[in-house]
A and B are shown apart, each in its own frame.
Chain A
């Protein structure tokens, strides 16, 4: 089992290099050696060693500390052991400050070095195990390319499974970048319609006349430029699903046309007289609050009720921050492969920064941020520095402002109310977010007379 781990011994002295390498090989490790800091860096670029033994004093070029700093630029989590024959407090402090795992004076007791190597390898094994478990967990929380362990998202996945076999119209609401199309695809591909087409249309991207032609098709000569007959998206989706993205943006005339299709399951091509019947499941999505639009009179209430047979509300990323680590690691795995870069993970501080960020553009913004960081990253692990561009956007989560002259009970009541509202009345999730058990939460709800 030990041979899976490799060690690099860096020392200008041949006997030292050879003997330590031989000693470690007898212990079952794969060992390479380098006669200078420069050679060590070349080897570190080719391979990520579990442990680097680096001699402090090497004549010419880089010394041990410089070599270690350069290695850590390539592998920020590298375990570097600085070895020296002439220990001073200053060099020891510098070595440890610059991130040395250990600073040892040679010759040392064989037991000491054996235990040190064993200890580091044990941690590496745990880290590797942790990565494997994390990947397994990510798979467990993955549903048709949507990754989440959030309770509300898990409920959505369950709902998607339940409705996938039905023909009912679905309205998906959520901010931009929350993955509305992914949910629509999941509904389509989980059900009987999966072998048939899934056709997406962005209603916000096209002018009214173009959108009409796009949705219903047109006959030859129906308008200038209509040189031939063209099938619309509804016809293309026959037997399958049509996904109408940003349905809240369509004009009153198209709202009426759409209502007719939903009622009668048939329509006319633009400029046509033949009624065309289709078997299409309609899934609509919008980032707008359609009930507000109905009240404001900009969206037909009858169409709203037709669309809103099954309603799915996708929470924004800032309300499911627990998903950020899962999503980030999933993006790193996929994007580093696509971009041809060998990025393995993200540092804890980097992850914390992403968890704290407000993500107005939701999962799409997070994906773009990870892609940008991977492109510019010089090491094998992303760090907070790689995400410094987020700071410039200046929209990190605002700091908690302590309210003035407010009794503690009132603060508690407000926090509980806000959390219950945010979790859509889900007490189990609210208790989880608040870090208390459900019975305590029920007791507080009763005590503060909180409406659910």
Chain B
């Protein structure tokens, strides 16, 4: 229970994955690595909408979470949805271990603009940190510059910073410390044994 694992779901650029893994490892203070890749999630595809159900994928990810994962994040190029709304950038289990983010709407090309790798990476870093924040119990923050502020359109993703606000950091630090204590408790008996 000491690592943050990232798994590609369908085709995802390996370099993007490695950079995201390194980023969340540094931000949350855990070891991190890219783990098993999964095929395109046909089981979650809705032909009428042409999108993938994030709830169904998340449910599936929960069942295959590596035992030593403190957090497990699926990264996909598929466009995600929940039935109530037209799309989601990602979804997480609040206070849980799994999350998923979609890169489908983070690229400039989706909005008819010239592709820009740097912009896409910055958005992906924000989204993965945001969803991981939910797994540590953080809810949406009223501070529009905070990473935990709600983004319902891409401009809001761009407007927020790549950092949590002071209040969110305070809560996050406590939760990270709690998660690390849990790691120690589960590893000590193994060492004795």
Binding site for B on A (CB under 8 A): 2-3, 13, 15-16, 18-20, 22-23, 25-28, 53, 83, 106-111, 113-114
What A residues does B84 contact at CB under 8 A? 16, 19-20, 23, 53, 83, 106-108, 113
What B residues does A114 contact at CB under 8 A? 150, 152
Contact of A13 with B139 at beta-carbon distance under 8 Å, contacts A22-B55, A26-B134, A110-B88 already known? no
What A residues does B88 contact at CB under 8 A? 23, 110
Query: Would you give the shortest CB distance from B148 to chain A, in whole angstroms?
Result: 9
* Interface assignment of B94: CB less than 8 Å from any CB of chain A: yes
Apart from A27-B139, A28-B140, A111-B153, list 14 A-B contacts with CB within 8 A. Answer: A15-B53, A15-B56, A15-B82, A19-B53, A19-B83, A22-B55, A23-B88, A27-B150, A53-B84, A106-B83, A106-B84, A107-B83, A107-B84, A108-B85
Q: Are A22 and B91 in contact (CB under 8 A)?
A: yes
* Interface assignment of B81: CB less than 8 Å from any CB of chain A: yes
What A residues does B153 contact at CB under 8 A? 110-111
Give the CA-CA distance A335 to B19 in the complex, in Å. Answer: 65
Binding site for A on B (CB under 8 A): 49, 53-56, 81-88, 91-94, 134, 139-140, 150, 152-153
What B residues does A109 contact at CB under 8 A? 85-86, 152
> Could you tell me the dominant secondary structure of chain B's interface residues?
mixed
Give the CA-CA distance A66 to B180 in the complex, in Å. Answer: 50
Query: Would you give the shortest CB distance from A130 to chain B, in whole angstroms?
Result: 22
Give the CA-CA distance A114 to B149 in the complex, in Å. Answer: 12
Q: From the candidates B56, B134, B152, name the one contacting A111 in the complex (CB within 8 A).
A: B152
23 contacts between A and B (CB under 8 A): A2-B139, A3-B139, A16-B84, A19-B82, A20-B82, A20-B83, A23-B82, A23-B85, A23-B88, A25-B139, A26-B94, A27-B139, A27-B140, A83-B84, A106-B84, A108-B85, A108-B86, A109-B85, A110-B87, A110-B88, A110-B153, A111-B153, A114-B150
What B residues does A25 contact at CB under 8 A? 94, 139
Q: Are A26 and B83 in contact (CB under 8 A)?
A: no
What B residues does A108 contact at CB under 8 A? 84-86
Query: Would you give the shortest CB distance from B17 to chain A, in whole angstroms?
Result: 24
Q: Are B55 and A18 in contact (CB under 8 A)?
A: yes
Give the CA-CA distance A113 to B91 in the complex, in Å. Answer: 16
The residue on B at minimum CB distance from A16 is: B83
The residue on B at minimum CB distance from A106 is: B84
What B residues does A22 contact at CB under 8 A? 55, 82, 91, 93-94
What 5 A-B pairs have minimum CB-CB distances, sorted nearest first?
Answer: A19-B82, A28-B139, A111-B152, A110-B152, A19-B55
Give the CA-CA distance A141 to B49 in the complex, in Å. Answer: 60
Give the CA-CA distance A314 to B152 in the complex, in Å. Answer: 61
What B residues does A53 contact at CB under 8 A? 84
Q: From the candidates A3, A26, A28, A107, name the one contacting B81 in the complex (CB within 8 A).
A: A107
Q: From the candidates B55, B86, B94, B134, name the one contacting A110 in the complex (CB within 8 A).
A: B86
Query: Would you give the shortest CB distance from A12 to chain B, in whole angstroms?
Result: 12
Give the CA-CA distance A25 to B87 in the complex, in Å. Answer: 17
What B residues does A18 contact at CB under 8 A? 55
